[in-house]
């Protein structure tokens, strides 16, 4: 019987964590990866996709849930943020339906209205968050975004006023089938290495040189042999080349040795073995 683990923690866990609150952009361009930051937040951001499912009852079937008989009636998509910056732009996004004019040389005027036009919807709202094991962020885009909750500002002494906004995604008449969101998740970074010479002879020692190939420009952050982490005096890293010095290799016992190249993203590399001999 195979040994079963009682914890999901594994060697890759530390590289698959969504870190910190992230940032929120409006009108994000997913081709150029550009957009407009809507401002600093406090208290984090929350993304929600809630399908409203309905189970079709059948006479004589005792189970409430039957495969193939659950349908999705609708999907609600939203992103909730707590804006710390109170600007004309964030007030406008909170109100949703507004008219804006110039009051005088010192003030702009923002007024509510009783109807929505296409211009009141944002093209999209995007959350951009850091993934621990990747140099590329996770990006969540909500399309045709609009706040349904209106404007609520609480001001008090010794505290900052926050502007809570929940952006809801909307479908367009040109695409009624797909829920109005998209998640751009970084593809896994794959790393490998080659070795210039697989045999080390103590009588005529030379450095062992590994050349790294990475799909995501990952960098080597260290070298291990079993549980021993080599000292920085025992190896060098220059770009994609890792050199284990001959002085260290000369201290190893005769036989096969397999080094691990510790990478800053993607998989760590189990390097080709080096055979040490007299």
Residue 170 reports pLDDT greater than 90 = yes
Largest pairwise CA distance in the chain:
88
pLDDT tens, 146-159?
Answer: 999 888 887 777 77
pLDDT tens, 219-245?
Answer: 999 999 999 999 999 999 999 999 999
Residue 98 reports pLDDT greater than 80 = yes
Give residue 181's pLDDT: 97
Residue 262 reports pLDDT greater than 90 = yes
Give dist(CA 206, CA 203) in Å, integer.
10
Across the beta sheet with 191-195, the strand order is: 191-195, 208-214, 241-244, 235-238
The domains of the chain, with CATH numbers, are 13-184 (2.30.110), 191-277 (2.60.40.10)
Average pLDDT, the chain: 92
Phi-psi map region of 73: left, alpha, beta (phi>0 left; psi -120 to 50 alpha): alpha
DSSP conformation letters of 139-168: EEEEEEEEESS----B--TTS--BEEEEEE
What value does the mean pLDDT take over residues 206-222?
94
pTM of the entire predicted model = 0.82
Residue 37 reports pLDDT greater than 90 = yes
């Amino acid at each position: 019987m195979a040994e079963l683990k009682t914890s999901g923690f594994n060697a890759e866990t530390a590289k698959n964590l969504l870190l910190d609150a992230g940032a929120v952009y409006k009108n994000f361009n997913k081709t150029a990866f550009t957009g407009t930051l809507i401002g600093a937040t406090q208290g984090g951001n929350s993304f929600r996709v809630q399908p409203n499912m309905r189970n079709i009852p059948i006479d004589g079937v005792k189970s409430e849930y039957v495969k193939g008989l659950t349908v999705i009636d609708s999907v609600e998509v939203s992103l909730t943020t707590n804006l710390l910056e109170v600007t004309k732009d964030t007030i406008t996004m909170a109100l949703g339906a507004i008219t804006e004019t110039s009051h005088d040389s010192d003030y702009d005027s923002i007024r509510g209205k009783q109807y929505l036009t296409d211009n009141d919807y944002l093209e999209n709202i995007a959350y951009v968050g850091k993934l621990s094991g990747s140099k590329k962020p996770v990006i969540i885009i909500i399309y045709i975004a609009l706040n349904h909750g209106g404007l609520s500002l609480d001001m008090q002494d010794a505290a900052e006023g926050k502007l809570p906004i929940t952006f809801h995604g909307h479908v367009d008449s040109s695409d009624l089938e797909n829920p109005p969101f998209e998640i751009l998740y970084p593809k896994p970074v794959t790393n490998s290495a080659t070795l210039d010479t697989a045999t080390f002879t103590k009588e005529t020692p030379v450095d062992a040189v590994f050349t790294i190939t990475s799909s995501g420009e990952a960098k080597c952050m260290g070298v291990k042999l079993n549980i021993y982490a080599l000292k920085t005096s025992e190896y060098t890293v220059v770009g994609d080349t890792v050199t284990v010095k001959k002085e260290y290799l000369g201290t190893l016992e005769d036989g096969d040795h397999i080094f691990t190249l510790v990478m800053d993203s993607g998989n760590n590399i189990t390097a080709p073995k080096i055979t040490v001999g007299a």
